[in-house]
Structure 1
Amino acid sequence: MRSEEVAHYLRDNPRFFEDHIDLIANVVVPHPHAGRTISITERQMLALRDKNRQLEGKMGELLQFGEENDAISVKMHRLAVGLIAARSFQSLLHTLNFHLRDDFAIPHVAVRLWHRPEGSDELPEFADVSRDLQAFAETLAQPYCGTTSGFETSGWFGEAATHVRSQALIAMRNSGGTIGMIALGSEDSERFYTAMGTIYLERLGEMASAALARVLS
């Protein structure tokens, strides 16, 4: 008989060892970590211990993820409170930059808005943005994360542009239309990568959009 057939037989006949109780004490199997044999009962205990260690490792990972998410949620709350408290365009930009750099350790932050209010010609936030990039922002169902290669957004980071290796681009929307974009840059090529989760970036975009629409109105 093949080993698969033996295993299948034992699964289908759970009373086998009740009818042959002496086998449990007499059958020996190789020790998984040593060059000796042990009883089937000892082998089962070792298997249970290994499984417990694996479960403990998984539990540790879940706890770590939970703690990290809690920390991010606290930072997002602080940012939201700051954006709500901002009464002017400049104070809102200062709040956004401060929290992203100090709380989230994002070294480079740039904002661009499509529609320029009167008296804002010299502000970089209202500098001209190509129609191609505006069209790209319209297509973003979620933030883009990845390389800066091929994007004019790399120039938004000023003197640091040549050192930025990864970026996140977040479309800002109001009343169903795209009003601008937030660009986050990092010298670390793995800080913003293609497969990363974007839920907090999406929330950032929603909060910033609502706050900017309020102060600009």
Structure 2
Amino acid sequence: MTTTSIPTSSNVPPITEDDIAEFLVNTPDFFERHAEVLASVTITSPHGHRAVSLHERQAEMLREKIKGLEQRVMEMVRHSGENTSISDRTHEWARRMLAVKEPIRLPDAVEEGMRELFDVPQVALRVWGVSAVYGGETFAQGVSDDARAFASSLTSPFCGANMGFEPTQWLPEAGQVQSLALLPLRDGNIDSTEPAFGLLVLGSQDASRFDAAMGTDLLTRMAELASSALSRLR
């Protein structure tokens, strides 16, 4: 608050704006005794910089506050709808994996669910340490020791730009991928110290689809669901 002095006689300390503000705060009935003063007060409106009465300005502030609250409510409703949709799709994805009777069909169920339910353009999956009966399958081949070590180093999903990681090459059209998510698969929680036994790769031509700043809670839950289902291959 400014401290502009109001001129007074030379032998009296000047009255400042702070003094006036303090007086009004401590004397709430001032405007009740001097209603004509309140009615005559005008201030500058932020809309067009015209002079308006204090009552009108208070009404404007109230309308702005109500508008802000309405926007917040609409955002909450929208987010609630989005969360319900995501929850439904995640449930359907888990249901499909649970319905698979033959373990060899699980990788296809995981990938197809990602493409169909979550609209992920490119999906790839690799699992290692599988039972010998599945050793010749595509999902169990083409993984270097470095890629396995990299997967084990991830204690949460990686989201970000395509930086040329080896797992990106597993995607069908790797050259078009601008952003990707890498979901390590391991026994127990994703952040455990257990070595990863697989990696789920999600790729998109949209550079902002898997942004480095995005939250990974949902991807973490997806990784844990896929891990539980794919453990039947080991």
TM-score by length of 1: 0.89
**Equivalent residue in structure 1 for 2:205, among 171, 187, 198:** 187
Q: Which residue in 1 is equivalent to 2:164?
A: 150
Q: Which residue in 1 is equivalent to 2:41?
A: 27
Aligned identity (percent) is 35
Query: RMSD between aligned alpha carbons?
Result: 2.2
Number of residue pairs aligned between Structure 1 and Structure 2: 215
Alpha-carbon distance between aligned partners in 1 of 2:144 and 2:24, rounded to the nearest angstrom: 67
Query: Matches of residues 23-62 of structure 1 in structure 2 within 5 Å?
Result: 23-62=37-76
Alpha-carbon distance between aligned partners in 2 of 1:7 and 1:140, rounded to the nearest angstrom: 62
Greater shift, 109-118 or 15-24, is seen at 15-24
Letter in 1 for 2:165: F
Structure 1 residue 12: deviation in Å?
3.9
**Equivalent residue in structure 2 for 1:124, among 138, 142, 145:** 138
* Secondary structure of residue in 2 paired with 1:77: helix
**Equivalent residue in structure 1 for 2:118, among 101, 104, 126:** 104
Alpha-carbon distance between aligned partners in 2 of 1:185 and 1:24, rounded to the nearest angstrom: 64
Alpha-carbon distance between aligned partners in 2 of 1:125 and 1:71, rounded to the nearest angstrom: 30
- CA change 1:14–1:148 in 2 (3 A) is farther
The C-alpha deviation readout for 1:137-174, integer Å capped at 9, x for no partner, is: 2232210001222300111013x111111110001111
* Secondary structure of residue in 2 paired with 1:110: strand
Alpha-carbon distance between aligned partners in 1 of 2:68 and 2:222, rounded to the nearest angstrom: 36
Structure 1 residue 4: deviation in Å?
7.3
Greater shift, 87-96 or 186-195, is seen at 87-96
Q: Which residue in 2 is equivalent to 1:70?
A: 84
* Secondary structure of residue in 1 paired with 2:126: strand
Determine if contact 2:130/2:233 at 8 Å carries over to the other structure: no
Alpha-carbon distance between aligned partners in 1 of 2:33 and 2:164, rounded to the nearest angstrom: 73
Alpha-carbon distance between aligned partners in 2 of 1:181 and 1:8, rounded to the nearest angstrom: 65
Structure 1 residue 119: deviation in Å?
3.5
Alpha-carbon distance between aligned partners in 2 of 1:134 and 1:11, rounded to the nearest angstrom: 71
Q: Which runs of 5+ in 2 are unaligned?
A: 5-15
The C-alpha deviation readout for 1:4-44, integer Å capped at 9, x for no partner, is: 73685267425143453322111011232135322101110
* Secondary structure of residue in 1 paired with 2:95: helix
Letter in 2 for 1:200: L
Alpha-carbon distance between aligned partners in 1 of 2:146 and 2:18, rounded to the nearest angstrom: 64
Alpha-carbon distance between aligned partners in 2 of 1:52 and 1:114, rounded to the nearest angstrom: 57
**Which structure has the bigger radius of gyration?**
2
Alpha-carbon distance between aligned partners in 2 of 1:10 and 1:86, rounded to the nearest angstrom: 77
- CA change 1:205–1:8 in 2 (3 A) is farther
Runs of 4+ in structure 1 off by over 4 angstroms are: none
**Equivalent residue in structure 1 for 2:150, among 133, 136, 144:** 136
TM-score by length of 2: 0.83
* Secondary structure of residue in 1 paired with 2:104: helix
